Amino acid sequence: MGGAVAGRGSRLPPPGGEFSVDCRLCPRLAAHLDVVRRDHPAYHARPVAAFGDPRPGLLIVGLAPGMHGANRTGRPFTGDHAGILLYDTLHRYGFGSQAVAVAPDDGLELRGCRITNAVKCLPPENKPLPAEIRTCNGYLRAELQALAPPAVLALGTVAHKAVLRALDCRIADFPFAHGASHRPRPDLRLFDSYHCSRYNTQTRRLTPEMFRGIFADIRNYLDGAGR
């Protein structure tokens, strides 16, 4: 896949940020996925495309595909523990047609909501490198420009910073805090939540009640904005 050279040997997605599941701009992640695909031939094991409404009021930004979730099924937050709370909550607040997500052909539709990730390839140990976050930010930037969602939910600090970077905002001006919301642009409200990962939910750093509180705020905001 072609891309503009961006100094220090790194490359960026093409102008316009057309996403491809064949993207290999991050050599470490591409090599990692080659190994995962060899060890798990039935897994998607490629960059994972966004999922949901093509004209969303809410864009949810996660960290990266999980090994046995999106990396396996090819759909964000589908088939692993992190998706359990997310899709149940989306359904409760009218964003999803059903409460469970197990596979891309499970019939689930998102309404007024779309889900993407700051980094679209599975990173080793769930830890993308700063250069990989920067490289993949070209796709997030293009998504935000094309979709122009009035609300964005960042799941965790990596997603929060990636959204701000994609909007060309100074990260220090908008510190991450669970339950906070920011106005980085006049037409966009950024909501923050702890990530709904297995670790965070099992340690109760993030409870279902806390997570629902975020979505209640988002639903109120969107309804007030006439969406």
Which spans of this chain sit near ligand SF4 (rule: CB under 6 A)? 23-26, 29-30, 47, 119-121, 132, 135-136
- If the CB atoms of residues 70 and 85 are measured against ligand SF4, the closer one turns out to be 70
Contact, 115 vs 23, CB < 8 A? no
Residue where the block lists tokens 């009640």 = 209
Q: Show the CA angle centred on residue 205, arms to residues 210 and 177, nearest 5°.
A: 70
* Closest CB 132 distance from ligand SF4, rounded Å: 5
- If the CB atoms of residues 24 and 198 are measured against ligand SF4, the closer one turns out to be 24
Nearest to 54 by CA among 132, 124, 109, 120: 109
How many Cβ atoms from other residues are within 10 Å of residue 127's Cβ? 11
- If the CB atoms of residues 136 and 190 are measured against ligand SF4, the closer one turns out to be 136
* Closest CB 71 distance from ligand SF4, rounded Å: 11
* Closest CB 50 distance from ligand SF4, rounded Å: 11
- If the CB atoms of residues 34 and 223 are measured against ligand SF4, the closer one turns out to be 34
Cα separation, 96 vs 195, whole angstroms: 19
Length, in residues, of the chain: 227
* Closest CB 200 distance from ligand SF4, rounded Å: 22
Residue 207 half-sphere exposure, CB side, CA atoms within 13 Å? 4
Q: Show the CA angle centred on residue 119, arms to residues 104 and 139, nearest 5°.
A: 90
* Closest CB 134 distance from ligand SF4, rounded Å: 9
- If the CB atoms of residues 35 and 216 are measured against ligand SF4, the closer one turns out to be 35
Q: What strand order describes the sheet that includes 151-155? A: 51-52, 113-117, 58-62, 151-155, 188-193, 181-185
Angle, in degrees to the nearest 10, between helices 208-224 and 81-92: 40
Residue where the block lists tokens 């297995």 = 198
- If the CB atoms of residues 30 and 180 are measured against ligand SF4, the closer one turns out to be 30
* Closest CB 37 distance from ligand SF4, rounded Å: 14
